[in-house]
Amino acid sequence: MEIPPELITFLRSSAHVAALTGAGVSQESGLRTFRDTADGLWAQYRPEDLATPEAFERTPELVWEFYAARRLKAGEVQPNAGHFALAEMERHVPHFTLITQNVDGLHRHAGSKSVVELHGNITRIKCSRGCGVFTEWEELPGKAPTCPTCGAKLRPDVVWFGEMLPSDELATAVQAARTCQVFFSVGTSGLVKPAARLPLLAKQIGAVVVEVNAEETPLTPSVDYFFQGKSGEILPELVKAVWG
């Protein structure tokens, strides 16, 4: 893979860099994309029917079991070379923000520090009435646990269809896009808003936009550099070329 010399030079001199990652990055670790998780036991359901507040209210045990299965799978895989390359990039850039649509926690596992989790984290649960967030709980087979404070059901700490993104995380992501000199879009379809608007926002303020993806996306015509392939192969090469 040939990396343009001007990109190498610009990255070396950039103090503010932001990156947005999507399901393609985790897929390289062996995690299926959200819509591909509905196989086997879940094949009779549309994923959207398992990821809404209404579904949880209607069939909380079913939704809980679906996410318990996803949580178990996420715990069985490891970060890949793309995750580690982004963590390495952060060590060289004075102001680096990693924005992710993924909920598996693999970026933090790989060593990334400044992580903005737009869609939450599957390793946490929260009270459905808003009492708090929990990282430890007792698994009850076939039953969703209840909040120790109010008795309401506990649910995954992820953003479901029809819900707003966490305001603080979204504000941090927007600020990063507005102030960065380089914006990376990695392994994301460019279809899910508002995350899909972030690289365009960065482009509007004059940032260099770099896309790394297995295939072209709606964003591709707008970027400055497009690298087609696996992030686990491309990002390590890029980091090595820029910072040695």
Per-domain residue ranges for the chain? Answer: 5-30+79-119+164-243, 36-76+128-158
pLDDT exceeds 80 at position 45: no
Res 43: pLDDT: 63
Domain 36-76+128-158 has CATH 1.10.3720.10: no
CATH number assigned to the domain covering 5-30+79-119+164-243: 3.40.50.1220
Res 226: pLDDT: 98
Is 109 considered catalytic here? no
Catalytic residue among 92, 95, 107, 119: 119
Q: What is the arithmetic mean of pLDDT over 110-118? A: 97
Mean pLDDT of the chain: 91
Res 144: pLDDT: 84
pLDDT exceeds 60 at position 93: yes
Band of pLDDT at residue 13, cut at 50, 70 and 90: very high
Residue whose C-alpha is closest to residue 122's, from 57, 26, 49, 54: 26
Q: pLDDT tens for residues 116-173?
A: 999 999 999 999 998 999 988 888 777 888 998 999 999 999 999 889 999 999 999 9
Res 160: pLDDT: 92
Find tokens 């879940």 and name the residue: 42
